[in-house]
Structure 1
Amino acid sequence: MRNNYHGFTLIECLISLFFISLFFLMLSGVFSQSQQIFQRVESREELEWQIFLIQFDKITEKGTFRDMSSTALIFEREELHEGKVVTLAIKYSSNKKYVYLSNNGGTEPILTQVQAITFDRQGDAILFTVRFLNGVEKVGKWTIP
């Protein structure tokens, strides 16, 4: 008896369609998860940016502005209990990728995952631009009292 079988059976076609649909279902799940992860990272950066602005405001209230460079702001503050003048600086560490507060020899990170920061004086205001590692750029403005 000769078999003239030239094609796929209905069951073979259904099994292959099942596996193709399963593949596309998993692929759509990956895309939706990546969007959720991106939104969480973006919201974390926005939260960190808002906290940085509050900290920046508190630092500038405590001290008197003295000097600046393209990557640092320098303030002086009189210590209440010691009566001596202490230098505060907001600086950028390019090797650690963060902005930190330098205070009396110690350092405290105040903004992380930073690719670059620039300070630019324009009259009685200082504009600062922060570019994060993911490419998001934030701009702030501080008016010198």
Structure 2
Amino acid sequence: MVKNSFSLNKNKNYAGFTLIECLLALFLLSIICLLFSAVIKNAKVVSEVLKSEKEKEWHIFVIQLENELAGCQFKEIQGNKMIYENPKKERNILIEYKLGKIIKVDNGGYQPLLIDVREVDFKKEDDFVVIRAVFKNEQQYSARWSIIKGNEEEV
């Protein structure tokens, strides 16, 4: 009768991980998980900072546009541009949306006022000029100026 027994042959080398190698792998995995969770927590903070940057950029644009158009008279809106007349220099000033930017065109010069814009809508509503802009990150802002005797004031 033959007995079946399991015995380890001490002369054979078995491939496998040692306990130290397993502990080292678990340690590295835990560090990677901790770093990943920290990145996820900070992504929300970074997102909020970027949103506030676009808001600041919009407010700076509105103030700059108000200063650029001080003393100018509103003429009309044609599609994606507003036309103002500068009575002192006897020429038109265009505020135009082109290639993801809101620009000012004055006497052949080109001045970008706002960038990273996906769409802009210029409207004249009663005695107001309304600008609505959507940034590439889907944030929307709007501003309006009242038209009083040819001058604009922000409301």
Unaligned runs of 5+ in 2: 1-6, 149-155
Q: SS of the residue aligned with 1:129?
A: strand
Partner Cα distance (1:62, 1:36) in 2: 42
34-43 or 17-26, which deviates more: 34-43
SS in 2 for 1:144: strand
Deviation at 1:8, TM superposition (A): 7.3
Map 1:29-108 to 2 at 5 A.
Answer: 29-79=38-88, 84-94=89-99, 97-108=100-111
Give the match for residue 133 of structure 2: 130
Residues of 2 paired with 1:93 and 1:37: CA distance? 29
Q: CA RMSD in A?
A: 2.3
The code of the aligned residue for 2:52 comes to: S
Q: State TM-score, norm by structure 1.
A: 0.81
Structure in which a larger fraction of residues adopt helix:
1
Counterpart amino acid of residue 122 in structure 2 = F
Aligned pair count reads: 137
Aligned residue number for residue 121 of structure 2: 118
* 8 Å Cα contact 2:134-2:140 kept in structure 1: yes
User: 1:31, 1:70 → 2: CA distance?
Assistant: 43
Shift of 1:56: 1.6
* Shift >4 Å, 4+ stretches: 7-10
- TM-score using structure 2 length: 0.76
Percent identity over the alignment? 31
Contact 2:61–2:113, Cα closer than 8 Å, also in 1: yes
Structure 1 residue runs of 5 or longer lacking an equivalent are: none
